[in-house]
């Protein structure tokens, strides 16, 4: 489902990624482990198509990123802190995102907000959300359109223990359904619980 082949990336004369090759099969969860500045977040951005200044080749579901498609097809993602329109409510933000592909209706949006413990009728704007609430909204947007692939960068950041445990189980169930997952987490327990294989990245190298 995902194949990264000899990918390198230089930004402002700094080597961010250095000949990186990784893969993830259908129904497999792959972990990315590394410290701050190791390159794991930038690698995920390249896989999603948010940065295409790399050399080498990235293929997602048979499509070459930056050549066949601009962005990774049929992919849900959380990269760094989820970005939303700050003056809109959580529900309004998800409604805008759902309107792009028109795969799901308002009932499905409400279902996924409630699933992550958010009230779709809450009129509070996202700018007034706590970090944990933003993260829950990010998880809802990543899952709500039932994508084949999930690219998740620190998805449990800001969640309490109960919600973290619940989301771990959700990702395991998604994997059982045949979803392909790439997960970055500083928490070794998250990685070990969910992932089938682990890549360690340091200084842009696997």
Q: What is the pLDDT of residues 69-84, one digit of tens each?
A: 999 999 999 997 777 9
Within 12-142, strands assigned E span 14-24, 29-33, 55-60, 63-64, 75-78
* The predicted structure's pLDDT at residue 181: 97
Tally the C-alpha atoms within 13 A of residue 147's C-alpha that lie toward its C-beta: 25
Within the chain, strands assigned E span 2-11, 14-24, 29-33, 55-60, 63-64, 75-78, 149-153, 180-184, 197-200
Which portions of the chain are predicted below pLDDT 50? Answer: none
* The predicted structure's pLDDT at residue 196: 97
Global confidence as pTM: 0.92
* The predicted structure's pLDDT at residue 34: 92
Q: Does domain 1-74+151-206 have CATH number 3.40.50.300?
A: yes
> Do 206 and 32 contact (CB within 8 A), yes or no?
no
* The predicted structure's pLDDT at residue 100: 86
CA pair distance 71, 45, nearest whole angstrom: 10
CB atoms within 10 A of CB 6: 13
* The predicted structure's pLDDT at residue 101: 85
* The predicted structure's pLDDT at residue 153: 94
* The predicted structure's pLDDT at residue 95: 94
């Amino acid at each position: 489902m995902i194949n990264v082949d000899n990918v390198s990336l230089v930004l402002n004369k700094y080597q961010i990624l250095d000949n990186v090759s990784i893969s993830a099969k259908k129904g497999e969860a792959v972990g990315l482990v590394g410290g701050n500045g190791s390159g794991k977040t930038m690698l995920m951005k390249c896989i999603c198509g948010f940065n295409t200044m790399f050399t080498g080749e990235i293929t997602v579901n048979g499509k070459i990123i930056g050549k066949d498609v601009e962005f990774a097809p049929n992919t849900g993602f959380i990269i760094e802190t989820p970005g939303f329109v700050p003056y809109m409510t959580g529900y309004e933000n998800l409604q805008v995102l759902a309107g792009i592909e028109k795969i799901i209706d308002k009932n499905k949006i409400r279902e996924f907000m409630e699933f992550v413990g958010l009230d779709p009728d809450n009129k509070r704007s996202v700018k007034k959300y706590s970090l944990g609430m933003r993260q829950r909204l990010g998880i809802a947007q990543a899952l709500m359109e039932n994508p084949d692939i999930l690219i998740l960068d620190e998805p449990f950041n800001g969640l309490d223990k109960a919600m973290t445990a619940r989301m771990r189980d959700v990702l395991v169930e998604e994997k059982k359904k045949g979803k392909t997952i790439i997960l970055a987490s500083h928490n070794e327990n998250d990685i070990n619980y969910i992932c089938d294989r682990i890549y360690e990245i340091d200084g842009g190298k696997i």
